[in-house]
């Protein structure tokens, strides 16, 4: 038997953090725009637009939003054995069928026409079936996605070196376009952006912990030039690298 417990639509600002919590029912969280990371149980998942989390009853979870976006929460009860312990973030299909379904559920919930409660329980059954279908597809892709993890591990260890996305695609066994699509789908960020993010994190650490020149830090972090680094740093932080260093010195 399937039944709706709650449905709630909300906006999440950038840098918003939702602390660890749990529910007595299943929860589906659908992400409209934005990006971030969610801990579900003991695992961490990146999320982005057109992705959703499925959390089992009693499973602790949190959310950190890096970019602003909207979310729709649906709490429901189901006796379907296939739902047990999914506890993951999953990509919606190409037609965004699940998104369309939950938007119809939201419309039904807010409209409160005659019989809306029965209709929502009926639609919850459809929701459960669609989750199962998408989960089956995800499991069939797990073996291929594991190869992406090897590529990501390589990037983690070598991001300060010159790395061509084409070489990463070859390492993964996919075409250039397919690799970029799968990487973004899996981690919520494009591979080149991921490299730049790691380099920027390293550069910030070096600005804080060392007295190295900005030009030295830029090259050590893996940027092609000081100009590229300074431009990207200012765009991300709103500060020059020197101003960032002075501010952290004052805070320290």
* pLDDT tens column, 173-185: 889 999 999 899 8
Q: Which residues contact 1 (CB under 8 A, 6 or more apart)?
A: 77, 78, 79
The predicted model gives 233-250 an average pLDDT of 90
- Give the pLDDT confidence of 95-134 residue by residue, as tens digits: 999 999 999 999 999 999 999 999 999 999 999 999 999 9
Question: Taking Cα atoms as reference points, which of 9, 5, 4 lies closest to residue 72?
Answer: 9
The predicted model gives 57-79 an average pLDDT of 97
Does residue 76 register a pLDDT over 70? yes
The one-character DSSP state at 82 is: G
Question: Where does 41-173 show beta strands of DSSP type E?
Answer: 43-48, 51-55, 61-67, 69-78, 88-91
Report the SS3 class of residue 157: helix
Contact 55, 5 (CB under 8 A): no
C-alpha 147 chain-centroid distance: 19
pLDDT of residue 139: 66
> Which tops the pLDDT comparison, 232 or 148?
232
Question: Taking Cα atoms as reference points, which of 186, 187, 197 lies closest to residue 159?
Answer: 197
> pLDDT grade, residue 40 (50/70/90)?
very high
CB crowding 204-238: b at 16 or more within 10 Å, else e = bebbeeeeeebeebbeebbbeebeebbebbeeeee
User: What percentage of the chain reaches a pLDDT higher than 70?
Assistant: 96
pTM score:
0.57
C-alpha to C-alpha distance for 114 and 93, rounded to whole angstroms: 32
Question: Taking Cα atoms as reference points, which of 220, 215, 246 lies closest to residue 230?
Answer: 215
């Amino acid at each position: 038997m399937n039944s709706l417990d709650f449905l709630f639509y909300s906006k999440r600002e950038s840098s918003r953090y939702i602390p660890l919590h749990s529910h007595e029912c299943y929860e589906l969280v659908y992400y409209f725009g934005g990006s971030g990371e969610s801990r579900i149980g003991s695992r961490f998942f990146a999320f982005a637009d057109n992705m959703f989390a499925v959390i089992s009853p009693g499973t602790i979870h949190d959310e950190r939003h890096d970019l602003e976006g909207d979310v729709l929460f649906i709490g429901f009860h189901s006796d379907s054995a296939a739902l047990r312990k999914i506890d993951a973030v999953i990509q919606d299909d190409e037609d965004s069928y699940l998104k369309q379904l939950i938007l119809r559920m939201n419309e039904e919930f807010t409209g409160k026409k005659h019989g809306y409660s029965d209709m929502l329980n009926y639609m919850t059954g459809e929701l459960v079936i669609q989750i199962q279908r998408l989960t089956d597809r995800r499991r069939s892709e797990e073996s291929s996605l594991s190869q992406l993890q090897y590529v990501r591990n390589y990037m983690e260890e070598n991001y300060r070196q010159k790395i061509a996305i084409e070489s990463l695609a070859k390492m993964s066994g996919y075409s250039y376009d397919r690799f970029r699509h799968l990487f973004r789908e899996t981690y919520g960020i494009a591979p080149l952006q991921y490299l730049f993010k790691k380099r920027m994190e390293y550069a910030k650490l070096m600005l804080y912990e060392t007295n190295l020149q900005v030009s030295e830090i830029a090259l050590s972090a893996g940027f092609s030039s000081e100009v590229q680094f300074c431009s990207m740093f200012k765009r991300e932080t709103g500060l020059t690298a020197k101003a960032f260093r002075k501010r952290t010195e004052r805070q320290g």
